[in-house]
Amino acid sequence: MIAPDQGKADLDISQTAGSQRPISITASDDWRGRSIMAWKDITEALRLWPLVWTLSLLDIRLRYRGSLIGPFWLTMSTAVMVGAIGFLYSRLFHQNVASYLPFLSISIVLWTFISTITAEGSVCFTQSEGMIRAMRMPLSLHAARVVMRNILVLGHNIVVIALVFAIFRTIPSMAAFSVLPACALWVIDAMAMTLMLGTIGARFRDIPPIVGSIVQIAFYLTPVMWNPVMLSHRGLSTIFVNWNPFYALLEIMRGPLLGQPLEPRIWGVALVYSVVLIILAGIVFMRARPRIAYWV
């Protein structure tokens, strides 16, 4: 009998004919074996990127089936929210509209991506229960499907940023080329976050509402609606800005687009938080990957 929950299981079968040498069947359950299988799972999902792309497009089409303009409804709602909130909060915060609306448009679009990734990532495995049980495919493919779907939606919302920049003639700085590695870092972080939250959410069904509450609180504590310069003279920038991981990830994308110079310190903080997130996601996925199919 093979015990899969034990670190090592041996089965001795005595041969009745010929030699009496025992046959040993070993099931390895160490960290090395788990890490190899988890890495193979992720690389197989990357190899199947055409399938990920097709499933992501299918999700968007099914979500907006029967709609005239499809996912551009989300783009229109984002544009209306940026316009309404921008003019109101610029008066409340005593900000110049020409500088505040570009800041707000980038912040809202990027934060929408973050909040959607965390919300849908928490249920990426439970929502794919039928596919997980019906066919054999990499589990990380379901996480990549969520990430790709939200990248496509983010591409639609970039229209709002381009429109606001054109109206107020906002010109990015030369540091805007750093947005390319920032986008790559965002994709890696989104994949890591989806894998980690999806794995934990498959085991504990209370995770999605808990994550939603945390993200909602983080929205008000992060410089999304308000500019971090407003806290510089109040001594609160250390708490709400310097130690906020969401601020660092937002700023490596937002700062160069708004014409600000490249800040190595912000990049250093973003990389540190990203490394921590990737390590945690790897540990969680390696440890729980064999059990996900039984949890969903």
Least confident residue range of 8-22, 43-57, 82-96? 8-22
User: Alpha carbon 14 to chain centroid distance?
Assistant: 52
Burial of 209 (0-12, 13-18, 19+ CB in 10 A): exposed
Alpha carbon distances (Å) from 88 to 93, 101, 105? 9, 11, 14
| Rounded-to-10 torsion of CA 126, 145, 42, 123 | -20
Alpha carbon distances (Å) from 50 to 53, 56, 165, 280? 5, 10, 34, 28
Cα four-point dihedral sign 3, 31, 194, 273: positive
Residue 241 has pLDDT above 90, yes or no: no
pLDDT digits (tens, 9 = 90+) for 138-156: 999 999 999 999 999 998 8
Residue 26 has pLDDT above 60, yes or no: no
pLDDT at 233: 63
The model's pTM: 0.84
